[in-house]
Amino acid sequence: MLAKRIIPCLDIKDGMTVKGTNFVNLREAGDPVSLGKRYSSEGADELVYLDITASHEGRKTFTNLVRRISEEINIPFTVGGGIHELSDVDRLLNAGADKVSINSSALRNPGLIDEIASHFGSQVCVVAIDAKLQSDGIWQCYLNGGRLASDRTLFDWAHEACERGAGEILFTSMDHDGVKEGFANDALCELSTHLSIPVIASGGAGKKEHFRDAFIKGKSDAALAASVFHFGEIPIPELKSYLKREGVAVRI
């Protein structure tokens, strides 16, 4: 059985780690390099860094940050934000990133997934999907950090991304983000059951049981969280020991 992965996520704004609730009300959480080093030493399997403002100047700043991270951290990390073309991917991989995450740019230009997969390999391409459950029971996908509704739905879009060569799907439930009441396990289970690539759960971690449920009920391959790690609510070694006792395969 493949080990399930624990992935701290660091949202970056103006060079600092920030965290909000339902994609708003941001507060600072610390230096991204120092936090990354701490998570690496505590046993995190991977890290995700997202440049959540990603202006042109921000991209330059972010590239320098990625370089610093790669010099200090010895676990794989994914970067996202402001990636619109192959040259952006090339720049971030050359700075030391292991994978890139694309979201709005993939919805606007699905062919970007094919291009990244064919030039750099599917393993480099993580397609992030921010979705919100509508009153009719349909999960609608959103762009621009959850600010703009698209005409795509979660399961159809995830299937297309998979067909185009995505290596992983990172699904964030906008309804669950920062609320700390558990992941969207039903949707995760449907994704994990019907896709041939790994699914990363995001949005909703508040206690250790939520991670267990994302793996057992949601059948996800990895679980991503932010504030519970940033603010010391759930230490990673404690979380992994708990998951192992609950029968979830993790790397200790």
List, as one string, the DSSP characters of 162-214: HHHT-SEEEEEETTTTTT-S---HHHHHHHHHH-SS-EEEES---SHHHHHHH
Would you state the structure tokens that stand for residue 133, as one six-digit string?
Answer: 């459950």
pLDDT of residue 61 exceeding 90, the answer is no
Confidence of residue 57 (pLDDT cuts 50, 70, 90): low
Contacts of 127 (CB under 8 A, 6+ apart): 101, 102, 103, 106, 113, 158, 161, 166, 168, 169, 170
Based on the residue annotation, tell me whether 11 is a catalytic residue of this protein: yes
Q: Are 186 and 219 in contact (CB under 8 A)?
A: no
Whole-prediction pTM? 0.94
pLDDT at 78: 98
Contacts of 141 (CB under 8 A, 6+ apart): 107, 129, 130, 131, 149, 150, 152, 153, 154, 157
Considering 11, 88, 213, 221, which one is annotated as catalytic? Answer: 11
Q: Would you give the distance in Å from CA 122 to the centre of its chain?
A: 16
Which stretch, 8-17, 25-34, 164-173, 223-232, has highest mean pLDDT? Answer: 164-173
What share of the chain in percent tops pLDDT 90?
A: 80
Confidence of residue 205 (pLDDT cuts 50, 70, 90): very high
User: Residue 247, SS3?
Assistant: coil
Considering 45, 51, 130, 177, which one is annotated as catalytic? Answer: 130
Q: Are 117 and 165 in contact (CB under 8 A)?
A: yes
Residue 156: which H helix or E strand, with range?
A: helix 154-164
Based on the residue annotation, tell me whether 98 is a catalytic residue of this protein: no
Rounded-to-10 torsion of CA 191, 222, 211, 22: -70
pLDDT at 55: 63
pLDDT of residue 22 exceeding 60, the answer is no
pLDDT at 29: 73
pLDDT tens digits, residue range 127-138? 999 999 999 999
pLDDT at 145: 78
Euclidean distance between CA atoms 188 and 214, whole angstroms: 8
Confidence of residue 152 (pLDDT cuts 50, 70, 90): very high
